[in-house]
Chains A and B, each alone.
Chain A
């Protein structure tokens, strides 16, 4: 998991607050992917971004969730007005220009564990 940096590692928010999760991709990677793991579940795709572009957000809830990957700085996953059901582990992965499945499968960061109280 070395290279993809996520922070914070743990985040506690009260219902109704906002949560901001940050992901810095591996050096040289321009593509970022966010996945969510609910308790006792597998990881589920949320959104795929390139610099300044959302490529596919089909896995992201339509309301309260947004993601960005600015020209400078980390990718941000933002959850507004959090609810208890948002409690999960959020993982970020990165890849170079195009995902070459045979040579560079997705490499994940260590995740942010969000707890909504």
Chain B
């Protein structure tokens, strides 16, 4: 039972264009969402996060949008650069007050982004 789904295993984008990575979740207890970037043979690196009380969070070229009613979030990268080529993981967690445990991140399977020069 996958609670966090990334339905696109891969995505190719031209350098300079926008990359949009999508993520859907099913667990209504999730209230905090994160994106991690992972290069081969390395651990995941935190990229950006968003709390469920917001619908948008921006950090430089990276913006995360959250649509709670649709249980959907997306990561926008503008402009895309070749160094952005990596696997991107969407992750979610619930409030510690709900008992879900804020440390228990539930990850999607990842989307491999290739930015073509």
Contact = CB atoms under 8 A, between A and B. Distances in A.
Give the interface residue-count category, chain A: 20 to 34
Contacts of A25: none
Nearest to B49: A105
A111 B43 contact: yes
A110 B89 contact: no
A31 B103 CA distance: 10
Interface in A12-70: 31, 33, 35, 40-45, 48, 56, 59
30 contacts: A1-B42, A1-B43, A6-B43, A33-B103, A35-B107, A40-B109, A42-B89, A42-B91, A42-B107, A42-B109, A43-B89, A43-B91, A43-B105, A43-B107, A45-B103, A48-B103, A56-B103, A101-B32, A101-B49, A101-B51, A101-B102, A106-B46, A107-B46, A108-B36, A108-B44, A110-B41, A110-B42, A111-B42, A111-B43, A113-B41
